[in-house]
Structure 1
Amino acid sequence: MNHDVSSVEQLEAIYGEPGERAVWKELTYLNEDYQAFVKACPFVVLASVGDEGTDCSPKGDPAGFVQILDERTLAVPDRPGNNRIDNLRNIIADPRVSLLFLIPGIGETLRVNGRARISVDPDLLARFEVNGKLPKTVIVVSIDRVYFHCAKAIVRSHLWDQATQIARECLPSTGAMHRRLSGGHFDAETYDRDLQKNTAAGLY
């Protein structure tokens, strides 16, 4: 017997209709409340889709790093990383993106669906200068839909509960993972020893 759900009709039979509040919280612009979430947020997950598949990339900076250009437009700086630029490649192929805003200690999240473009406008880059350094590009998102998500997932996961946090040494170190991936030809000890210093030096 096939137990896969393969139609919208099946889904609707399982879940029923969305509640009234789930419908009215969806807007096509950032109202005052949603702007407050963006301004308080230090961490965003950017999802994109392209010819090679999908990507989900973390973006982080001090709270308010995602700037509100107007009530229908957001700007996200692209800081130094591993230069895979998976999400940027995807945006070139397909502008559709989604953003998930996470604020430490807050259960509710903010979700934005829209279309993105990549800008190297000097004036726009200058808005994101940190320590004299500019992002290489800025991702500009035109909002199609925005809505807040209730706290149930955060509550179930105990995400912000310090009692559930585990020590970093309980998982393989970054160096150890690189060594395994390289087939053993990697100096994990030196990498791990210098990781904190190198990370701080390469933030911007």
Structure 2
Amino acid sequence: MTDVPSSDIAFTPRVKALQAQRGSRSAYARMEERGGFRTAVTPELAAFLAEVDTAFLATANAKGQPYAQHRGGPAGFIRVVDEHTLGFADFSGNRQYVTTGNLQENERAFLFLIDYAHRRRVKLWGRARVVQDPDLVARLMPEGYEARPEQAILFTVEAWDINCPQHIPRKVDAAAAAAALARLEAERDRLAEENAALRARLGER
């Protein structure tokens, strides 16, 4: 364990004082004794990323003004580059470039990932940078996805943690729901045909 737990990236002295005041400090102190938040990309996190199709990237400018931007794509659009780095192709959008501008002034960033269907969410603290490398963009671009990549964003993971599922509403992806409904309708039609065939046989007798 290091002298400073990784969770100190979020648990500032002021935060710890509030935890102590409101009765949760001892539980988090035990977590800190084990090192705090995780700092490397684990197979568990990689598997979660492979299923994620939406994310929120938070940045701040040099004055500390925060900004959060939605980023989405097909499941797995956020790729594991190495044990401490994530990357994704940044698609062309409304061309405001707030995130890009913020990262030129302040590399600190935060990723919030949520899976409504399974009521899971992951928080990642780190540093991000925009990369204008066509080869990297091509490697990160989801195959067959119809969007125009403008650049790549690399996110260096400094700490990450899993939130409890409390208060996450369960929502089902529309495509997944449509596929499940199609399977049920196909099974209904098969059973109806089978039932009609049985009735016909009984009628012949």
Instruction: Give me the TM-score of the superposition, normalised by structure 1.
Output: 0.67
Alpha carbon RMSD of aligned pairs, Å?
2.5
Instruction: Give me the TM-score of the superposition, normalised by structure 2.
Output: 0.67
Q: Which residue of 2 aligns with 1:35?
A: 46
Q: State yes or no: 1:19 paired with 2:27.
A: yes
Deviation at 1:39, TM superposition (A): 1.1
Q: Which residue of 2 aligns with 1:182?
A: none
Q: How does 1:122-133 map to 2 (within 5 A)?
A: 122-127=134-139, 128=141, 130=144
Which blocks of at least 5 consecutive residues in structure 2 are unaligned?
A: 1-13, 174-205
Q: Which residue of 2 aligns with 1:79?
A: 91
- Matched-pair contact (CA < 8 Å) for 1:125–1:134: no
What one-letter code is carried by the residue in structure 2 that aligns with 1:92?
A: Q
Deviation at 1:79, TM superposition (A): 1.1
Deviation at 1:18, TM superposition (A): 5.4
> Relative to 1, partners in 2 of residues 1:61 and 1:151: Cα closer, same or farther, differing over 3 Å?
same
Tell me the secondary structure at the aligned position of residue 151 of structure 1: coil
Q: How does 1:5-154 map to 2 (within 5 A)?
A: 7-8=14-15, 9-17=17-25, 19=27, 23=32, 26-51=37-62, 53-127=65-139, 128=141, 130=144, 134-154=148-168
Deviation at 1:14, TM superposition (A): 1.7
What one-letter code is carried by the residue in structure 2 that aligns with 1:19?
A: A
Cα distance in 2 between the residues matched to 1:18 and 1:56: 32
Tell me the secondary structure at the aligned position of residue 149 of structure 2: coil
Cα distance in 2 between the residues matched to 1:29 and 1:42: 21
Q: Percent identity?
A: 24
Deviation at 1:153, TM superposition (A): 2.9
What one-letter code is carried by the residue in structure 2 that aligns with 1:67?
A: R
Cα distance in 1 between the residues matched to 2:105 and 2:127: 12
- Matched-pair contact (CA < 8 Å) for 1:126–1:134: no
Deviation at 1:95, TM superposition (A): 0.3
Deviation at 1:16, TM superposition (A): 2.8
Q: Which residue of 2 aligns with 1:173?
A: none
User: Which of these two proteins has the greater Rg computed from alpha carbons?
Assistant: 2
> Relative to 1, partners in 2 of residues 1:133 and 1:28: Cα closer, same or farther, differing over 3 Å?
same
Count of residue pairs brought into register by the alignment: 154
Deviation at 1:85, TM superposition (A): 1.4
Cα distance in 1 between the residues matched to 2:113 and 2:45: 10
Which blocks of at least 5 consecutive residues in structure 1 are unaligned?
A: 1-6, 163-204
Cα distance in 2 between the residues matched to 1:34 and 1:18: 27
Tell me the secondary structure at the aligned position of residue 19 of structure 1: helix
- Matched-pair contact (CA < 8 Å) for 2:20–2:26: no
